[in-house]
Structures are given as C-alpha cells and as structure tokens.
Structure 1
Amino acid sequence: MKILKTTKKETNSLTERVYRELRTAIITGKINGGTRLVESNLAADMKVSRTPIREALHTLSLEGLLYSIPRAGYIVEEMSDYDIQDLFTTRMTIEQIAACLAMEKITEEELKRLEFNIQKTDEVLESGLTEKMTDLDIEFHGIIYKATRSRTLFQICQTLSDHTLKYRMAMIHLPVMSQKTRDGHHRIYEAILSGVRSNVNEAIQSHLQLAQEDIMDLLERQRHEAFIATDTRVLMPVEHGTNLSPKKGGQ
C-alpha cells in the first residue's frame, strides 16, 4: 500500500494558515485573553496535525500574543494598564519615525489613497455605518507604513498596531470615537502634505495619545462592570424555601 506523506512545502502552508487564523482570532478578541490553547484541541478543531499547530503557537509566542507555561501549554496574553502604556509609548516612537520617512518617500498615488480614505471615512460618519471604521483605520495606517519603503519598519508597525486591534474594534464604531479617528487621520494627512517633520510628529503623538486614553477608559469601564456583576451575584438574596443542600442520591 502506498503511504502518502506530507511534504515540507505542504506543512509550511498549513502552518501559515493555522498561524493566520489563530492570530486573527486573538487580535480581534474572538479568543479572549487568559484562554489556554491546547494543541490537541486546536488540531481537532482545525482538522490538521499537531505539528503546524505547535509551530504556529511558537511563532505567536515570539510576537508576544501568547506566553508558554511548562506542561500546561500556551495562554493568550492579557494586557495590563502598564502593558498598554508601554505599547503606546513604543508605537508612538516607531510611528513617528515611519510617518516622517513616509513623508519623504510617499508617491502621489499614495497621497490620493490617503485622501480617498478620509473621504470614505466622512461618508461613513454621515451614513452612520461606523462598523466600517475599523477597516478604514487599518487601511489608512497601512498606506503610511508601506510608504516608508522599509519592510522591517512595516512589519514592526503592523505588529504593534495589531496588539491593540481588539480594543479599537470595541470602540471605533462609537460615533464619538469614529470622529476622533477621522480628525486624527486628517491631521496626519495634512502634516505629511506640509513636509515638516515637527508637524508629522505632533500629529502622530496627538492621535495615539487619544487612542491610548480611550483604551484605558474602556478597560477601566470593563473592570468596573465586571466588579459590579460579581458583587451583584455575591449579594443576591436566596429565595425563601430554597434548599441549598445536595439532594439525596444527587451527584
């Protein structure tokens, strides 16, 4: 009987697919922080062997999206207030460098794409279809990253941006947040057009500082709501006549 073997090329392709699917699920919040990822369960769910799962999880851990616990597997990272501040401090520095470099190398076609992106954002705000804001936000920053003509800088910026995507997705559809995003993008666009580095640096700093503050506020509200929900359950009175002891013969 002829035994079919998986080639190295096929394994690499599977690993890439598994990596992309898991990464998307993590950065969009479909897999929550604190979730334990088990190789065997993932392999069964995704209908692949454990090898591409193991390789994908290792790559995601190198990106800081997972951390490993010996004999327990991988856990999805949860971001603390310090993590958010650290991330945005780093992202601000890197994106200022990227935007200034993009200002020097950007083409007329890319400038038109930035302008068109802002026009589409205005249309979204007017129509109220703010669920489209996430894609427009990703597209706007992606144009700038690519305009640097630096593959390394593009990858760094993309990775840093992805780490906050699930929080941005939770807020950006709100009208006030959508307007802030639009205003920040317009200021960055005008700064790039000006050709003045200080204008670009100020525009990036202002845009990301507001984003950081909004995410910190969101996390604080989520913690407060979780506390209230827990407190309510603890203080909930037991109905009269309820027997809390195990039933005879029960498990």
Structure 2
Amino acid sequence: MNSVVRATLSDQAYEELRARILSGVLPGGKRLLPEELALSLAISQTPIKEALLRLEADGLVVSAMRKGAVVRQFTFADVEELYEGRMLIELNAVGRLFELQAVRTDLLGELSRCLETHEFYARRGSLDDITTALVHDRKFHSALMAAAGNRLICEWHQRILGQTHTVFVYLAGDYSRSADEHQDILDALKVGSPDQTREALRRHLLHSRDNALENVSRSILSETTES
C-alpha cells in the first residue's frame, strides 16, 4: 500500500513541477532542492526525488555534479536540435494522416477548438496569457500527432514539445503570428492537400525555431548585462 501511495505522490509531484517549469514559475537555471520542494508541496522528499528523475528524462531538468538538480537552460545548439527533431516527426506525421485518411471531421473540429482558445490568449500578450496559449498550442500539435497513430513517436514528440515551449516562457518573443500559422495548417488540412499542409507546417516550425533562437540570444545578453 505504501508503494502505491508513494507512486501517486510521485506522479502528483511530477505533474506540478512540470507545470511550474512549463509556465516559467521555475525558470532556467533555478536550483531544485528536494527539501525546499517537499516543503512547498507538503510531501516527503522521496516522491520529489522520483519526480526530478522523470523531469530529467523529459529533458527539462539537469543534474549538476554536487549541486543537485537545476531547471535546464537551453543553448542555440539545443534549440536547433529540438526543431530538427520536430521537423522530422511532425512533417512525417502529416504524410501518415493522409495515408490513413485520418483528416476527418472530428480531427478538424478538435483542431479548430484548440486554435480558437490558442488565438484568444496568444493575442493578449502577457506572460500568463502566452503560457495559457502554449497549452493549447501543444494540444494542436499533439492532436495532429495522435491522429497519425504512432504512440511511441507521440511520446518522443511530447518530450520535445515540452522542451521547445519552455524556451518561450522564460523570455517571450514574437508569438503573435503563431495562431495565424496554425490557421494556415488547418486550412490546408481542410483543402485536403498533403503538400500544402506540410509547407504550412514547415513555415510555422521555422518561424517558431527563429523565435526560440532569438529568445536564447536575449537571455544570454540579459545575463551578460546583469553580470
């Protein structure tokens, strides 16, 4: 019974800490001390440590030698690699969607609902709003991946997606075009054109990558100025 309770607490700690990282409450470089986190979440340190191991596997946390865990800070190379991975996975998924004839009314309706909420928050501009918009941004891309039907690739995609979106919440860049780009993807799906869908998705991912790289650049400049 104790192991079941501990596993449940570990899951809860993982979800809460992941949410804090993705929302920017725990920013890049923040030290994650189990004793402090245990006090914050009112649980013991054991499920905290288990949660930190899972977050490290997700690529959101790194363990520094003798310094404990810290929230990951992303470099230019990290961003380039993450978006190369997204390109390979998501563009391949578009092909599978059409091969499986999965571009159906239910999928288009789900994507439209994600886009409507995403657009509402993306255009408001505050960090809290962008954080909320990113939740629905992830749902949009995740729905495309799920419809392509490969659960293993979906798991890889979720890890990559979580990492790319943390770059935005630390120093938010130009996110206003994201909803328009999602609309372009949705319109191409409605037309039923694999080529147009891939091209709309490719343009979106390239713009998103450039924004992420700009955010990293501003972060480095800010740290240099402060020091």
TM-score band by shorter chain is 0.7 to 0.9
Match runs of 1:143-222 below 5 Å: 143-169=143-169, 177-178=175-176, 180-222=177-219
Between the aligned residues of both structures, percent identity stands at 25
The count of corresponding residues between Structure 1 and Structure 2 is 220
Preserved CA contact (<8 Å) 1:68 1:75:
yes
* Structure-2 separation of matches of 1:184 and 1:65: 26
Q: Kindly tell me: are residues 7 and 165 of structure 1, through their superposed partners in 2, closer, same or farther at Cα, counting changes over 3 Å?
A: same
Aligned with 1:8 (options 3, 26, 34): 3
* Structure-1 separation of matches of 2:91 and 2:70: 32
Q: Could you list the runs of 5+ residues in structure 1 that have no partner in the other structure?
A: 1-5, 231-251
Q: Which amino acid aligns with 1:113?
A: E
Q: CA deviation at 1:47?
A: 1.8
* Structure-2 separation of matches of 1:221 and 1:146: 34
What is the match of residue 97 of structure 1?
Answer: 92
Q: Which amino acid aligns with 2:61?
A: L
Please, what is the CA RMSD of the aligned residues? 2.5
Q: Kindly tell me: are residues 124 and 136 of structure 1, through their superposed partners in 2, closer, same or farther at Cα, counting changes over 3 Å?
A: same
Q: CA deviation at 1:35?
A: 2.1
Between stretches 84-93 and 216-225, larger displacement belongs to 216-225
Q: CA deviation at 1:182?
A: 2.0
Greater fraction helix: 2
Q: Kindly tell me: are residues 186 and 75 of structure 1, through their superposed partners in 2, closer, same or farther at Cα, counting changes over 3 Å?
A: same
Q: Which amino acid aligns with 1:150?
A: N
* Structure-2 separation of matches of 1:123 and 1:35: 30
What is the match of residue 51 of structure 1?
Answer: 46
* Structure-2 separation of matches of 1:18 and 1:116: 29
Q: Is it true that 1:63 corresponds to 2:75 in the alignment?
A: no
Rg comparison, structure with higher value = 1
The structure with higher relative contact order (CA 8 Å, sep 6+) is 2
Q: CA deviation at 1:139?
A: 2.9
TM-score by length of 2: 0.83
* Structure-1 separation of matches of 2:175 and 2:181: 10
What is the match of residue 136 of structure 1?
Answer: 136
* Structure-2 separation of matches of 1:37 and 1:118: 34
Q: CA deviation at 1:152?
A: 1.9
Preserved CA contact (<8 Å) 2:27 2:170:
no
